[in-house]
């Protein structure tokens, strides 16, 4: 399993494996109804369970809730859309979401 490393914050977080089945299913849905799919991405819930299962042990002690993770995932809906469409790498999107959590939600979590 790869790690997401944020040198400025001194934090290391395991990167969950790419949710390829979720990506394929979401891309199929986007082909049928792009507007509805974009709305789902903006809401953030569709990817939260996947990320929370990998990151909860690190995030909870820092005071980050599952709902805060969902909100942060929603903030990166454009990048998630690009990942679903094959124009971004999974590690890039994960780094953006986790980095956003460090900046917005858990500034005290930085060493």
Q: What 3-state class would DSSP assign to 4?
A: strand
Say what the alpha-carbon torsion angle 111, 10, 42, 71 is, to the nearest 10 degrees: -20
Model pLDDT for residues 46-74, shown as the tens digit of each residue: 999 999 998 888 888 777 899 999 999 99
Model pLDDT for residues 94-107, shown as the tens digit of each residue: 889 988 887 877 55
Q: What is the pTM of this model?
A: 0.82
Model pLDDT for residues 7-55, shown as the tens digit of each residue: 444 556 677 889 999 999 999 999 999 999 999 999 999 999 999 998 8
Task: Let me know if 7 is exposed, middle or buried by CB neighbors in 10 A (0-12, 13-18, 19+).
Answer: exposed
What stretches of the chain show up as alpha helix (H) in DSSP? Answer: 20-32, 34-43, 45-59, 66-75, 77-84, 90-104
**Tokens (6 digits) for 7:** 């040198």
């Amino acid at each position: 399993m790869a790690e997401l490393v944020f040198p400025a914050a001194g934090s290391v977080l395991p990167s969950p494996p790419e949710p390829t089945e979720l990506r394929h299913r979401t891309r199929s849905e986007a082909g049928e109804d792009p507007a509805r799919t974009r709305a789902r991405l903006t809401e953030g819930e569709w990817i939260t369970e996947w990320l929370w299962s990998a990151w909860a042990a690190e995030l909870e002690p820092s005071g980050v809730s599952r709902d805060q993770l969902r909100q942060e995932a929603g903030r990166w809906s454009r990048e998630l859309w690009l990942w679903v469409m094959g124009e971004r790498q999974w590690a890039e999107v994960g780094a953006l979401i986790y980095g956003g959590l460090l900046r917005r939600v858990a500034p005290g979590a930085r060493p």
